Chains A and B, each alone.
Chain A
Amino acid sequence: MRRYFGRKLLIYGLTFFVAVTINWMIPRFMPGDPVSSMLSRANVAQPAAVEAMRAHYTAMFGFDLPLWQQYLNFWGALLKGDLGISIWLFPTPVTDVIVRAVPYTLGLLIPSILLSWFAGNRFGAFAARRKWLDNSVLPIGYVLTATPYMWLAILLAWALGIVAGIFPVAGAYGFDLQASWSWTFLGSLAQHWFLPFASLFLVAFGGWAIGMRNMITYELEADYVNYLRALGAPMRLVRRYAFRNAILPQVTGLALQLGVLVAGALVTEIVFSYPGLGHLILQAIQNQDFFLLQGAFLFIVIGVLIANFVIDIAYVLVDPRTRTGMGGTA
């Protein structure tokens, strides 16, 4: 087991290293001069602010220093939690801007990932045993997984938000409200949360249901199932074993899908103008705020790595083979 976690940690460490290096490389090796283009695009009126920004960029990029020193400085600043200053929300530090957006993204992501995974697996396993359910779930599941996140979000916003008028379609809470712990505020928060959550949930749900359904039908043809049946074991018991074997690939699938799910949350936030990281990234792109963009990128990478690690721990709990130290080649 130590070997399993050692390998995983090595991969995560290297991934983080590569991500930071990509982040450092892109502005330096892309065509064009980032400092002047950022200054001309930032549209800051006060000369003092322009000067401060020029000084800041030059210090940040450190173009006069040799490359290796720029690279080390980048790491140094990063480890101190310094991601530069946002251009869009000048002069707020990028870290502050991101920390304000993260709770909204997490509030969408964690429930939608966990609930769609649980519900999808339950439902898929359930569908595998009834022909009529199987025939109806399968096509719906395929349509849902093939749906682009933003399109489902747009459809929900249009149908339930604008035509039916049940849910609001923009923001995280009513425009007339201030953040507080009052019931009206929390109610508004929940109302604004529902549609983006529902669109994320539905797309992911289809994928898990299909995956589980296929896994179960595959497991039900395995030798141990035939053996159990020949022994006259009740079908309930057989299904329970099949489920336990089928859930393992689904845990691996969850780790593999994490990047896709995060990306889905980002575009969904953009549709609903939900003030999380996705919305922030859109603003950063539109305002050419590269510090904010790079900061958000690092934040997401760290988040994905932590989530992956949590899934790895869960995997050990579900799969006894990793506990005894037999399995796990990365």
Chain B
Amino acid sequence: MSNGVRNEALHFALRNRKLVVGTIVIAVFLVAGLAGPLMFDHGPNDYVGPAMAPPSGEFWFGTTTFGQDVFAQFVYGLRATFLVGVLGGVLAAAVGMVVGFVAGYRGGWVDELLNMLTNIVLVLPALVVLLIINAYLGVRSIGVQALFIGLTSWPWAARAIRAQTFSLRSRDFVDLARLSGVRTPKIILREIAPNMSSYLFLTFILLFGSAILVAASLDFIGLGPTQGVSLGLMLNNAARWSALQLGLWWWFIPPGAGITAIVGALYVMNVGLDEVFNPKLREM
């Protein structure tokens, strides 16, 4: 991207309300997750306060039935949420890119084979596969969870990237590179990928959001990290210890609202970025 194009993109990015609002929401939660835990000299699962206390100046989000600080759990949980989203999203994007680029660029039987693999993983219900893998694993960590989420959520990205690569590979500049004897991986990295960098970034954002949602479902079923805390695990605990029946709304509203806000902001950012990158969609 030349300087002029970059400045233009920045100009439209700053004027795009969706993008700005989405980014601010994400930034606020990111800062809360990074800086929040530093406020406490106790861990998220320590029994620090009176049981079942409603939100107050001391315990901003109240306490659980066991006297755990819900706000502390929330900010620690944000860390887990972002971590699983980034790791799962990066891994899924990486697999999707490799499969998509290779299938789209090579074509022929390589494409047939990769396409078949993509379709198979696409039809398998990912969460259910994750359920049985997770159930057999003894110790579960965020890293392992992100690994499995990444390995099951790449197919649609691969498909979309393959289609884009397909349309790029017959362009003149790619032909030129091929004629000058540049090897395939280099062509993909130097010629094709930069031309769809904005698209790849959009794909990553969507994968990031869906990784967060899948992780939350797994945690809720009780297959989350065996140590520490996450937003999904908070919902699991709230449901398990009858927070609904006891009327402890401050225990189950914040974690779900946090997930919804983060994922929603990512989706809105995605639409905003799309408008910035794609002049046709801009609302003047």
Q: A residues touching B (Cβ–Cβ < 8 Å)?
A: 11-12, 14-15, 18-19, 22-23, 26-27, 30-32, 142-143, 145-152, 154-155, 157-158, 161-163, 169, 221, 256, 258-260, 262-263, 266-267, 270-271, 281-282, 284-286, 290, 293-294, 297, 300-301, 304-305, 308, 330
Contact = CB atoms under 8 A, between A and B. Distances in A.
A301 B128 contact: yes
A18 to B, nearest CB: 5
A271 B132 contact: no
Interface in B225-284: 232, 235, 238-239, 244-245, 247, 249, 252-253, 255-257, 259-264, 266-268, 280
Contacts of A258: 125
B213 interface: yes
Contacts of B156: 256
27 contacts: A11-B123, A12-B123, A15-B119, A22-B129, A26-B132, A30-B136, A146-B213, A146-B266, A147-B256, A147-B259, A148-B256, A148-B260, A151-B255, A151-B260, A152-B256, A154-B238, A169-B244, A263-B125, A266-B127, A270-B221, A281-B221, A285-B135, A285-B222, A293-B131, A293-B135, A301-B125, A305-B123
Contacts of A163: 247
A150 B115 contact: no
Contacts of A161: 244
A146 B217 contact: no
B123 A308 contact: yes
A162 B244 contact: yes
Contact of B124 (A30, A147, A259): A259
A285 B244 contact: no
A285 B131 CA distance: 9
Contacts of A262: 125, 127-128
Interface string B67-102: 000000000000000000000000000000000000
Nearest to A11: B119
A162 B245 contact: yes
A291 B223 CA distance: 18
Interface of B: 115-116, 119-120, 122-129, 131-133, 135-138, 156, 209, 213, 216-217, 220-223, 232, 235, 238-239, 244-245, 247, 249, 252-253, 255-257, 259-264, 266-268, 280
Contacts of A281: 128, 131, 221
Contact of B132 (A23, A150, A221, A256): A23
Contacts of A263: 125-128, 217
A185 B280 CA distance: 57
Given A262-B125, A282-B222, A297 B131 contact: yes
Q: Main SS of chain A's interface residues?
A: helix
B88 to A, nearest CB: 15
4 closest A-B pairs (Cβ-Cβ)?
A151-B256, A146-B264, A263-B127, A259-B125
Contacts of B213: 146, 148
Contacts, number: 152
Contact of B123 (A15, A31, A154, A260): A15
B126 A259 contact: yes
Contacts of A18: 120, 124
A134 to B, nearest CB: 11
B235 A154 contact: yes
Contact of B259 (A14, A148, A285, A330): A148
B222 to A, nearest CB: 7
Q: Could you say which of A151, A155, A258 has the most chain B C-beta atoms within 10 Å of its C-beta?
A: A151
A146 B209 contact: yes
A23 B129 CA distance: 9
B235 A142 contact: no
A151 B244 contact: no
Contact of B267 (A14, A145, A150, A330): A145
A22 B126 CA distance: 12
A146 B260 contact: yes
B133 A26 contact: yes
Contacts of B123: 11-12, 15, 259, 304-305, 308
Contacts of B220: 148, 150, 267, 270
A300 B125 contact: yes
A296 to B, nearest CB: 8
Given A145-B267, A221-B280, A290-B135, 6 more contacts: A22-B132, A147-B260, A147-B264, A151-B255, A161-B244, A262-B127
A178 to B, nearest CB: 26
Contact of A14 (B116, B128, B216, B238): B116
B221 A142 contact: no
Q: Could you say which of A169, A221, A270, A290 has the most chain B C-beta atoms within 10 Å of its C-beta?
A: A270
Contact of B244 (A157, A221, A267, A330): A157
A290 B136 contact: yes
Contacts of A14: 116, 120
Contact of A158 (B128, B131, B249): B249
